[in-house]
Amino acid sequence: MVALLLFVAVAAWTQFARQDLDWVRATLSLYLHGPWGLALRTAYCLLALAIALLGIAMYRHGIGPRRSAAAPLLFVCAGLGLAGVAVGDSWLPERAPLAWPLVHGLSAMTAFLCASVAMLLQAWYLRREPGWQRSAAVLWWWAWAAFILLWAHVLWRGPPRGAGQKLVIAVIVGWLLWLAWAGWRRSRAHNG
């Protein structure tokens, strides 16, 4: 939860700190360069680690009949994609300017697609996980909202790209926070 909240704080801060970019039009990846870029790239990497660890933790502590390695593997792939965006944007623009857009695009698509599909799978698994039914219902519909918003962002070019992308990111990170919080509460109830 700390890594997720840190990402939210750094991403929000860069929106206010960077007066050179229009937050409505500029996608979050444009903030990876220039002032506060290193802080945001670090937050991306911490978020990537948090996503992977959360997926693995959900698998390790799952006991329900739908427990599968598919969701954690997708979460790990999403984390790797997110780290690829952060790391690739740190040195590729200067050292490999022709490869940088390809690496960035593939990494970003991997992060978004793997995360959204992993969210749907994880929410589906949790519906049959003992003690998760209430949270699973919220997470299930939230995951569908993220999935639909992602595809609307990809297919509908009307709204400003930056605001649309940031909305999708906020919904995904919010879902991850809810999952982490629900898992933390459940573990405290079992240990307390």
For 41-87, the pLDDT digits (tens) are 999 999 999 999 999 999 998 887 777 899 999 999 999 999 999 98
Q: Quick one: DSSP state of residue 32?
A: G
Contacts with 134 (C-beta within 8 Å, 6 or more apart), sequence order: none
Helices marked H in the chain: 2-17, 37-60, 70-95, 100-126, 133-155, 161-191
Residue 156 to residues 25, 102, 106, Cα–Cα distance (Å): 15, 22, 20
Query: What pLDDT, in 10s, does the model give residues 97-128?
Result: 888 888 889 999 999 999 999 999 999 999 98
Q: How confident is the model at residue 192 (pLDDT cuts 50, 70, 90)?
A: low
- Residue 55, SS3 per DSSP: helix
What pTM does this model have?
0.92
Note the pLDDT tens digit of each residue in 128-141. 888 898 899 999 99
Tens of pLDDT, residues 140-153: 999 999 999 999 99
**pLDDT given at position 76:** 98
Residue 100's pLDDT is what?
A: 82
- Copy the structure tokens of residue 72: 């954690």
